């Protein structure tokens, strides 16, 4: 083999640090839906912030092509008896529900054959709900899964059994999501009392239809009748039926296909107060976590705490390329980017006790020798400017006990071929939950250390031996020729 041929081999996909076999679906896809992390989007139609800006069909197309399997549609009454999608009571623009469904049908299974869930936040009148049902049936055709749940069924179906199917999940004022002031510290008794108050409001024909967390007040809209659900529309809901969450004890009585949506604030409170119960709950039931209302700029929250207790549908703002979306997409690369990743076995059987990690049998040691870099770009991939002084940082994210960050020394004035030959070692207690992030930065004495490139992957996708890491930019695009050369061992 020639030197150039050997170089090509080292830079080939088979010698990448990311396990080549994980680029395609390799996990068992025959387990219940509740056993998987499912790639999910929040307010998928938005292209900018939550209060103003454009709503676009492109949001759905981009999300689907990036492997997203759960899309959100906020449906409202529109003109000419045509439902529209937009963020209610804001200055965001409106798009037709019909057009969105057509785009979803066209793109639903281009990047993945596994089921798509449409989380429809329903604010429509009975008449326009019926129109939505007709659009879903007529446009989606055989893709739409609306077979009633069988009386002999007791567990959710698998992604494999629902391949190339689209499921409907409906949220409405009657379900109690986003329609009352959040109180993440409420006890079960307080939640019951709140539910009673809402029932009284419904009887008095007053409906809370929007809660603005940023101003901590309720907007009330008078209705001539309490909220009603069209039968044709409700009949389309099968394995993902939304219900109110009133505590884990009451949730034990749910049917296996029922689920709840919690804001990140509510879910974090449940983690802090009942982490073990949360883990047990998610072994059987789906849970969807969405951003709190204060994130009007469409910033994202860390999905890690919610993945750590087994939450399946952690919904992020796909239009915002921040560090949390970066970790998110790294996580879902594990299984061919198909939108479904099998949860660790201890989160599927409920055996994980988050409070007891003594004598942890899952512990592994990751040792990375950072040898050199190649073609490290200037900040922003500029072609002019000072020569960079690069260093490499490696960070382990996942369970809080594993949070750790180490870095190499700085190589002065060399972005073309910096050499470090430094070894960094990490003890990882929960490798099945860990994501490892490699970042190259430019050392600056007077100002900010600019990020020059990065790469993230799940711990379980790391391949041992001499490997190359192909760096990407802030928009997750590969930086041509920019790599790190490392040697990896895992014990």
Do 116 and 108 contact (CB within 8 A), yes or no?
A: yes
* Beta bridge mates, 206: 222
- Compute the C-alpha angle 111/297/218, nearest 5°: 110
Range 125-131, long-range pairs (CB < 8 A, 24+ positions): 125/77, 126/228, 126/229, 126/230, 127/81, 127/230, 128/75, 128/77, 128/78, 128/81, 128/82, 128/83, 129/83, 129/229, 129/230, 129/232, 129/233, 130/230, 130/232, 130/233, 131/81, 131/82, 131/83
| The pairing of beta strand 52-53 with beta strand 91-92 | parallel
- Compute the C-alpha angle 406/412/417, nearest 5°: 85
Is 470 annotated in the active site?
Answer: no
Q: Which of 22, 26, 35, 42 is catalytic?
A: 42
The CB density around residue 473, as the number of other CB atoms within 10 Å, is 17
Is 42 annotated in the active site?
Answer: yes
* Beta bridge mates, 441: 391, 451
Q: Which of 22, 26, 35, 87 is catalytic?
A: 87
Angstrom distance (rounded) from CA 383 to CA 381: 7
Integer angstrom CA distances of residue 124 from 92, 110, 131, 209: 18, 30, 10, 11
Q: Which of 441, 431, 440, 429 is nearest to 486 (CA)?
A: 440
Positions annotated as catalytic residues are: 42, 87
């Amino acid at each position: 083999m020639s030197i150039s041929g050997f170089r090509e081999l080292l830079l080939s996909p088979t010698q990448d640090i990311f396990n080549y076999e994980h680029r395609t679906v390799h996990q068992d896809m025959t387990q219940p839906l509740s056993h998987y992390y499912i790639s999910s989007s929040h307010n998928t139609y938005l292209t900018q912030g939550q209060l103003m800006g454009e709503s676009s069909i492109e949001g759905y197309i981009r999300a689907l092509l990036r492997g997203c399997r759960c899309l959100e549609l906020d449906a409202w009454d529109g003109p000419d008896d045509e439902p529209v999608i937009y963020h209610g009571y804001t200055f965001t623009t409106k798009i037709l529900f019909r057009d969105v469904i057509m785009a979803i049908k066209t793109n639903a299974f281009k990047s993945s054959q596994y089921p798509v869930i449409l989380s429809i936040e329903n604010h429509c009148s009975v008449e326009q709900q019926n129109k939505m049902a007709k659009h879903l049936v007529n446009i989606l055709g055989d893709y739409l899964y609306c077979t009633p749940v069988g009386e002999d069924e007791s567990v959710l179906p698998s992604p494999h059994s629902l391949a190339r199917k689209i499921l409907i999940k409906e949220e409405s004022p009657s379900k109690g999501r986003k329609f009352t002031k959040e109180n993440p510290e409420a006890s079960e008794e307080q939640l019951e009392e709140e539910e009673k108050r809402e029932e009284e409001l419904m009887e008095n024909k007053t409906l809370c239809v929007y809660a603005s967390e940023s101003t901590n007040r309720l907007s009330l809209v008078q209705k001539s009748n309490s909220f009603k659900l069209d039968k044709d529309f409700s009949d389309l809901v099968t394995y993902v039926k939304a219900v109110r969450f009133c505590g884990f004890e009451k949730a034990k009585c749910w049917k296996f296909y029922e689920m709840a949506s919690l804001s990140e604030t509510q879910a974090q409170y449940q983690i802090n107060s009942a982490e073990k119960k949360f883990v047990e709950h998610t072994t059987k039931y789906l849970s969807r976590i969405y951003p709190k209302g204060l994130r009007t700029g469409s910033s994202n929250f860390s999905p890690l705490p919610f993945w750590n207790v087994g939450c399946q549908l952690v919904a992020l703002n796909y239009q915002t390329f921040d560090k949390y979306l970066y970790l998110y997409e790294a996580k879902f690369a594990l299984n061919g980017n198909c939108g479904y990743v099998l949860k660790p076995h201890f989160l599927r059987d409920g055996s994980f006790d988050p409070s007891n990690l003594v004598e942890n049998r899952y512990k592994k040691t990751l040792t990375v020798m950072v040898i050199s870099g190649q073609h490290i770009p200037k900040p922003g991939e500029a072609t002019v400017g000072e020569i960079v002084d690069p260093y490499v940082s490696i960070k382990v994210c996942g369970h809080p006990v594993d949070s750790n960050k180490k870095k190499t020394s700085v190589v002065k004035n060399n972005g073309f071929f910096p050499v470090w030959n430094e070894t960094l070692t990490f003890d990882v207690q929960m490798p099945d939950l860990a994501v490892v992030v490699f970042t190259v930065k430019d050392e600056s004495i007077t100002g900010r250390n600019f990020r020059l490139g990065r790469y993230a992957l799940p711990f379980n996708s790391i391949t041992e031996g001499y490997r190359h890491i192909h760096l990407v930019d802030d928009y997750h695009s590969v930086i041509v020729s920019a790599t790190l050369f490392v040697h990896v061992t895992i014990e």
